[in-house]
Amino acid sequence: MSPVAGGDTESDIIVSVVGARPHFIKAFPFIKAMASSPARVLTLHTGQHYDRNMSELFFKELDMPAPDIDLGVGSGTHAEQTAAVIVGVERALLKIRPRAVVVYGDTNSTLGATLAATKLDFPVVHIEAGVRCANREMPEEINRTLIDHAADHLICRSALAVADLWSEGITRGVMNAGDFMYDTVLFAQAVAKEKDIRLDSYDVESGRFILSTVHREFSTASVGALVDLLDALGGLGEPVILPLHPRTKARLLTAGISLERSDDLRILEPLGYLELVFLLGHARMVATDSGGLQEEAYWAGVPCVTLMSETTWPETIEAGWNVLVGLDPAAIREAVASDLGGGERPEVYGAPGAARRVVEPLGWE
């Protein structure tokens, strides 16, 4: 890969655009890797996630500098949110005139920032490029496809992601660096060990509970299906810890659905990263529709039941640590009772140090 030139090459500023929970986790190793670089990282927060537990807490726990700019975009329809990010990022980039812009993942913030930056001719580096699940009904699939076709540097986490880009004719600027999140998980595991986080405060025993998250648009589209899912989780015969995303909570409360569903279903506020990683380390299994948690479970050696009909992490399924069950209660019960996992976990997402492997070829070391 050739060093990133373009934008204002005189500038020593790299703009790192974050906005939603998974971005903070991916930006952490990048900021660390850039600590000794002569270039300066300026963090632009779109404000897509704004609740304390969804944003500020992550900066605090990961000891990351507070964002330099906060656009305060907030919630809205896809068009409203993406449009507000485009306008806000464009305005900021015109003032800053950075050397390059780094974006992460597949959210509306990532797409908006990519569109604003590429049209102004600032080089865009896309972290977690080439991720596909072949479901065009997912807003994230539309986002990631468009982002990859616009971005200049495509940083992939696996050989499969590289192959998927090639199959779409994207071959320039592609690099397989491994997954950025790996370092964040290792950091959080180490810090969580030092903290006084107690399992008994969750009223569960190590290896005897399931950690669950539910937030996707399709998981929350039907209140009836969502209630069936919660009741399936609450009726598994073992405790389920469910930190609830604000979208899911709002959907239930607006429909007048009680969150008190069964003694075994422990519904909590969204957790910080340290607590989540701590609980993951003690969970018997994970049941989730989150992309990131599927991978975090794989690294932690915890079998994962994915509440979706497709995944962006097929490598974890091939390795025998993940299974797709959708939202069907019977399939969930069967998967949770199965002997999923336990075999080898090949390092399909690379060794730790992915962010460091990117900084040098980009010419930012």
The Cα–Cα gap between 111 and 231 comes to: 35
The Cα–Cα gap between 125 and 26 comes to: 13
Active-site annotation holds for 78: no
Number of other residues whose CB lies within 10 A of the CB of residue 172: 11
Residue 105: C-alpha distances to residues 130, 150, 202, 224, 267 (Å): 10, 14, 31, 30, 27
Region binding ligand UD1 by CB under 6 A among candidate stretches 93-101, 227-235, 246-254, 312-320: 246-254
Q: Considering only residues 15-74, where is the footprint of ligand UD1 by CB under 6 A?
A: 20-22, 48-51, 54
Q: Closest approach of Cβ 328 to ligand UD1, in Å?
A: 21
Question: Is 113 or 230 the residue whose CB approaches ligand UD1 more closely?
Answer: 113
Q: Considering only residues 69-98, where is the footprint of ligand UD1 by CB under 6 A?
A: 75, 81
Residue 268: C-alpha distances to residues 28, 242, 265, 314 (Å): 25, 6, 10, 29
Q: Considering only residues 177-216, where is the footprint of ligand UD1 by CB under 6 A?
A: 215
First vs last Cα of the chain: how many Å apart?
A: 14
Instruction: Locate 213 and state its tokens.
Output: 């998250």
Catalytic residue, chosen from 23, 45, 126, 215, is 215
9 binds ligand UD1 (CB under 6 A): no
Q: Closest approach of Cβ 151 to ligand UD1, in Å?
A: 17
| Letter string b/e over residues 240-266, b meaning 16 or more CB atoms within 10 A of that residue's CB | bbbbbbbebbebbeeeeeeeebeebbb
**Cβ 42 vs Cβ 98: under 8 Å:** yes
Question: Is 100 or 214 the residue whose CB approaches ligand UD1 more closely?
Answer: 214
Q: How many residues bind ligand UD1 (CB under 6 A)?
A: 19
108 binds ligand UD1 (CB under 6 A): yes
The Cα–Cα gap between 113 and 274 comes to: 28
Q: Closest approach of Cβ 268 to ligand UD1, in Å?
A: 15
Question: Is 158 or 288 the residue whose CB approaches ligand UD1 more closely?
Answer: 288
Q: Closest approach of Cβ 305 to ligand UD1, in Å?
A: 18
**Cβ 28 vs Cβ 183: under 8 Å:** yes
Beta bridge partners of 212: 287
146 binds ligand UD1 (CB under 6 A): no
Question: Is 60 or 97 the residue whose CB approaches ligand UD1 more closely?
Answer: 60
Question: Is 49 or 282 the residue whose CB approaches ligand UD1 more closely?
Answer: 49
Query: Sheet harboring 304-306: ordered strands across?
Result: 265-268, 240-243, 210-213, 285-288, 304-306, 322-324
Region binding ligand UD1 by CB under 6 A among candidate stretches 243-251, 310-318, 323-331, 344-352: 243-251
Q: Which residues bind ligand UD1 (CB under 6 A)?
A: 20-22, 48-51, 54, 75, 81, 106-108, 139-140, 215, 246-247, 250
Q: Which residues are catalytic?
A: 215
